[in-house]
Amino acid sequence: MSTALHTDDELRAATLDIEGMTCASCVARVEKRLSSVAGVQAAVNLATESAKVSIPVGVSDDDLIAAVESAGYGARVRAVGSQPAAMDEHDHTDEGRTKLGTRLVVSAILAIPVIATGMVPALQFPGWQWMAMILTLPIVMWGGWPFHRATFQNARHFTATMDTLITLGTSAALIWSVWAMFFGTAGEIGMTHDVVLFGPVHDATSLVYFEVAAGVTVFLLLGRWIEHRSKRRAGDALRTLMNLGAKAVTLATVAGADGPTVPIDDLQVGDRFVARPGEKIATDGVVVSGSAAVDASMLSGESEPIAVSAGSFVTGSTIATDGRLVVEATAVGENTRLAAMARLVEEAQTGKSAVQRLADRISGVFVPVVIVLSIVTLIAWLVFDGSVAAGFTAAVAVLIIACPCALGLATPVAILVGTGRGAQMGILITGPEAIESAGGIDTLFADKTGTITTGTMTLVSVATVDGVDTGAFVSSVASVESSSEHPVARAIVAAATEVPVATDFTSVAGRGVSGTVEGVRVFARRLDAGELETLPENLAAAVRAAGTTTIVAGRLSDDAETIEGVLFVADAVRDDSALAVQQLQKLGVEVRMLTGDNEAAAQRAATAVGIAHITSGVTPEGKIDAVRAAQAAGKSVAMVGDGVNDAPALAAADLGLAMGGGTDAAMHASDITLVRQSLSAAADAIRLSRKTMSTIRGNLFWAFGYNVAAIPLAALGLLNPMLAGAAMAFSSVFVVLNSLRLRAFR
């Protein structure tokens, strides 16, 4: 169908919540159907189970829903301002009222006696096969229903995936076994399996393969559960971001006094509200009156609060640390900057691939070939041998040997072992996307505050005029700062060996403090812009060389200041950051700094750790733009950060790494969390991810090679279905053992 061209003014945006997607092929199918509607452009996100759609005039929501339903999936248009289904606390992706985990646990419990008696002849008591049949029926029909449902949906559209192979293999094993029980000799009490390595047994109708049907179902349910748990991370990230917002707001009266407290949803653009010291600013707005130091680190990444006063713009969910503000709302709800960040996270995750798509692509070709081979095998035996039982046995052996247990385990088991080893090393790898992405990383953007540095303000040095004792000077400044909650004040107090009690304490929000210390009036404030040239030469030289936050302090007499010295406060560089940069460079990764902090502070930290490329003073939007620009230049990009302001860039990067001591939003938006709170953990995470990816590729190669080698034996009648089931189990054991080698990773 041809697609007309439309301008942006003719398009409207909508978001669809999609039900029933299980793999990358589902995403492609939904995108194809949506894009077949004239003029529609769609990007489907498997992680959030949603689709972002641009719709031309004349296309209705019902047209979109119909397109999705024609592909075999459910859809609904998300209401404006509502959260995606993946953000719901309840799990909507499991079919019916039953959780996928429940299917796994129940099926595993039922499968244990089935597999034990089926694979160990010594355990085959009289009537064991009837017990096996009773236990296997619910495993395959109920436990395996997610796979069968997907198979039926795919069949309607003449496509095949891993689910198709699972259904064919388990159904063939189950149907043959039930047929042999009722119409062959397998149902006789006292029957046990003959142990024959090659060639058909004396009576093919005495064989049952309940352990094959049950084992495959349980193993694949385990793999699907692991993938499912990883997929829900996207909803966690979005939910965490939205939960940062204020839940209630105190309105301001005409005179600026405190008015009634109302739910945040009742706040409208133009309303005036109050932000008291220590409270979240309810929404984006302009300060009408008052002044305060605002902690905006969640957005800017800068550890030091920003001074605001009448006329300043403030962002919702930042915190007024030490002053009272009256703010006029300029944006509410989905139009706020926080909501925009949530959208950036969701949109950045759209299109992230999973390693498992390789197995799906293999299955797309492999399944039709296996079906044809099974049919050809049956026909060939009927033509050349004339034995229906032998022909059917060989055909079933082909289907069973092709059953993709090892293929299905190749990815999730390696991920399980790799992530387990990572957890022991303080590295939380959350899913296959991280492992796949890490293999080609060549550029890493590192946030400064809380990542390269500790995120805690520290007094790094002091300079005084001639004749002033440094220790006494720091103690007097700490005395007047001890009544302030400002991070810079806390850093100075922590560095003082003695803190005398100050009286007559005065604080001017965003300006500084003063007080009387042992009879002397002392002041401390931030160095004003343009004041440098008025300082004594030794202090001015120290300020020029410092590149840190500078506090000027001294004595007050009749409101006249006598400057006695300057204190330099900075975010301290982590002890191992320089070594971490070297380790990353040895891995072939270029390290760049990307920070919202000022240029001087950024340059100081970058020089200390050996980073040559820095970008300072960037917003969250600027960070995501930098990541995308590098990607557009052909770079494979990792981002490591710790703040809410880093979350969009973490989600947009090919590999997102969050410091474990950072915010929940950063950790949920990332692919890897560094619990060790060390940049060197980022290098270890990349090495471990690459090793895990190498193991997955090896697993897929050997699992597929096993099928290729064993299918001809089954078709020639040299591999009876019993041995086929055992060989299938061995291939799975091989994949597991190969994956377990990751436990020795160092």
N-to-C CA span, the chain: 55
> Can you give the pTM of this predicted structure?
0.60
Q: Where are the beta strands (DSSP E) in 418-542?
A: 427-429, 443-446, 453-464, 502-508, 512-517, 520-526
Are the C-beta atoms of residues 550 and 527 closer than 8 Å to each other? yes
CA distance 638 to 616: 18
Lowest-pLDDT range of 42-46, 187-191, 605-609, 713-717? 42-46
| Percent of the chain clearing pLDDT 70 (strictly above) | 81
In a 10 Å sphere around its CB, with 0-12 CB exposed, 13-18 middle and 19+ buried, how is residue 597 labelled? buried
**Where does the pLDDT of residue 704 fall: very low under 50, low under 70, confident under 90, or very high at 90 and above?**
confident
The pLDDT value recorded for residue 549 is: 78
Smallest Cα–Cα separation from 479: which of 532, 429, 538, 522? 522
Lowest-pLDDT range of 110-114, 427-431, 629-633? 427-431
**Where does the pLDDT of residue 636 fall: very low under 50, low under 70, confident under 90, or very high at 90 and above?**
very high
Report which of residues 182 and 83 the model is more confident about: 182
CA distance 170 to 496: 72
Lowest-pLDDT range of 74-83, 104-113, 144-153, 694-703? 74-83
Which of 168-182, 297-311, 498-512, 703-717 shows the highest mean pLDDT? 168-182
What number is the average pLDDT over the span 148-155?
83
Average pLDDT in the chain: 80
Q: Which stretch of DSSP H or E encloses residue 252?
A: strand 248-252
Cα–Cα separations (whole angstroms), residue 112 to 106, 120, 211, 542: 10, 12, 9, 74
**Where does the pLDDT of residue 232 fall: very low under 50, low under 70, confident under 90, or very high at 90 and above?**
low
Lowest-pLDDT range of 112-121, 165-174, 649-658? 165-174
Residue 632 has pLDDT above 70, yes or no: yes
The pLDDT value recorded for residue 91 is: 43
Helix (H, G, I), strand (E, B) or coil at 190: coil
The pLDDT value recorded for residue 81 is: 46
The pLDDT value recorded for residue 726 is: 60
CA distance 546 to 543: 5
**Where does the pLDDT of residue 666 fall: very low under 50, low under 70, confident under 90, or very high at 90 and above?**
low
Lowest-pLDDT range of 53-57, 143-147, 153-157, 566-570? 153-157
Domain annotation for the chain: domains and CATH numbers: 8-80 (3.30.70.100), 247-279+284-330 (2.70.150.10), 428-453+574-690 (3.40.50.1000), 454-572 (3.40.1110.10)
CA distance 614 to 609: 12
What number is the average pLDDT over the span 320-345?
80
Choice among 271, 447, 597, 642 that is catalytic: 447
What number is the average pLDDT over the span 608-620?
89
Query: What is the phi-psi region of residue 255: left when phi exceeds 0, alpha when psi lies from -120 to 50, beta otherwise?
Result: alpha
φ and ψ at residue 655, rounded to 5 degrees: -140, 120
Query: Parallel, antiparallel, or unpaired: how do β-strands 272-275 and 306-308 relate?
Result: unpaired
**Where does the pLDDT of residue 522 fall: very low under 50, low under 70, confident under 90, or very high at 90 and above?**
very high
Report which of residues 45 and 457 the model is more confident about: 457
571 counts as catalytic? no
Question: Running DSSP on this structure, what letter comes out for residue 534?
Answer: G
φ and ψ at residue 678, rounded to 5 degrees: -140, 135
Structural Rg of the chain based on CA atoms: 33
The pLDDT value recorded for residue 237 is: 53
Lowest-pLDDT range of 19-28, 177-186, 248-257, 624-633? 19-28
Dump pLDDT digits (tens) for 265-292.
Answer: 899 999 999 999 888 899 999 999 998 8
The pLDDT value recorded for residue 485 is: 72
The pLDDT value recorded for residue 638 is: 92
Dump pLDDT digits (tens) for 2-20.
Answer: 334 444 456 788 888 888 7
Q: Which ranges constitute the DSSP H helices of 232-324?
A: 233-243, 297-300
Smallest Cα–Cα separation from 457: which of 499, 511, 494? 494
Residue 347 has pLDDT above 60, yes or no: no
Query: Looking at this protein, which amino acid is placed at residue 457?
Result: M
What are the respective helix, strand and coil percentages of the chain, to the nearest 5? 50, 20, 30
What number is the average pLDDT over the span 482-488?
79
Determine the length of the chain. Answer: 746
Dump pLDDT digits (tens) for 366-388.
Answer: 777 888 888 899 899 888 887 77
Residue 301 has pLDDT above 70, yes or no: no
